[in-house]
């Protein structure tokens, strides 16, 4: 049952003072503030978590493939002892339960869209399509293993902002991709309405972190 505790107990004076922040910063600040009010010292909302920054460069290729490409020694170190080559992915946020170690990773995607004052071509961006990499078997596996969440949901949360959230074409595309996993994406149509974002998180995703 929805309780809306995060909304009810959020420090709205503090959150209102942060409205001038960029969307990504407002998301982190408001969610962290609300969680602190309801669950003191239990959650951390990180920006740009580091867990997956080296997953591609350390992935082994077969000798047959390596003989056919321009290859480098990925084990090579710099003078300071750190890896010379590091590449992977950087997600926008991680919501961590410090008590049980569960983590919900996520992305915030902004994109233009086709609305009353534009035409269909206004929705031609592909920020939403770039998020589809999280559906690939490799990323799905490593994010799920790291986050430790139930298999009832996807191991990531996609938060979408901008006119794309009202685009009739893109809404259908994204709904088709996620289908029964509607808890895993959120159209933040009015980023001034922090309460709606808090309600969505509490009602759909917070239970999987507890």
Residues 6+ apart with CB under 8 A from 200: 186
43 forms bridges with which residues in the sheet? 97
pTM: 0.92
- Is 82's pLDDT higher than 70? yes
Q: How confident is the model at residue 1 (pLDDT cuts 50, 70, 90)?
A: very low
pLDDT at 109: 95
∠ at Cα 45 (41, 49), nearest 5°? 130
**% of the chain residues with pLDDT over 70:** 97
CA 208 to chain centre: 15
185: helix, coil or strand? strand
Per-residue pLDDT of 156-193, as tens digits, reads 999 999 999 999 999 999 999 999 999 999 999 999 89
pLDDT, average across residues 74-103? 95
∠ at Cα 11 (7, 12), nearest 5°? 75
Q: Which domains does the chain have, with CATH numbers?
A: 5-52+90-209 (3.40.580.10), 53-88 (no CATH)
- Alpha carbon distances (Å) from 36 to 9, 125, 200: 10, 36, 17
Per-residue pLDDT of 115-164, as tens digits, reads 999 989 888 888 899 999 999 999 999 999 999 999 999 999 999 999 99
CB 85 within 8 A of CB 136: no
Question: CA 63 to CA 3: how far, in whole Å?
Answer: 55
CA 17 to chain centre: 24
CB 1 within 8 A of CB 21: no
**% of the chain residues with pLDDT over 90:** 81
Question: CA 184 to CA 181: how far, in whole Å?
Answer: 6
């Amino acid at each position: 049952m929805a309780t809306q505790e995060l909304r009810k107990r959020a420090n709205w004076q503090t959150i209102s003072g942060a409205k001038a922040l960029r969307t990504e910063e407002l998301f982190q600040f408001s969610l962290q503030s609300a969680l602190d009010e309801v669950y003191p010292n239990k959650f951390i909302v990180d920006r740009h978590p580091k867990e997956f920054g080296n997953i591609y460069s350390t992935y082994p290729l077969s000798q047959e493939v390596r003989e056919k490409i321009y290859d480098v020694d990925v084990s090579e170190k710099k003078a300071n002892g750190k890896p010379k080559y590091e590449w992977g992915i950087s997600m926008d946020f991680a919501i961590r339960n410090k008590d049980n170690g569960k983590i919900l990773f996520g992305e915030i995607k902004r994109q233009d869209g086709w609305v009353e004052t534009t035409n269909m071509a206004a929705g031609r961006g592909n920020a939403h399509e770039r998020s589809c990499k999280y559906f690939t078997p490799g990323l799905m596996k490593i994010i799920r293993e790291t986050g430790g969440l139930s298999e009832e949901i996807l191991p990531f949360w996609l938060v979408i902002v901008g006119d794309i959230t009202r685009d009739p074409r893109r809404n259908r595309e994204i709904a088709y991709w996620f289908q029964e996993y509607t808890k895993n994406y959120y159209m933040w149509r009015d980023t001034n309405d922090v309460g709606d974002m808090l309600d969505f998180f509490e009602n759909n995703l917070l239970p999987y972190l507890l």
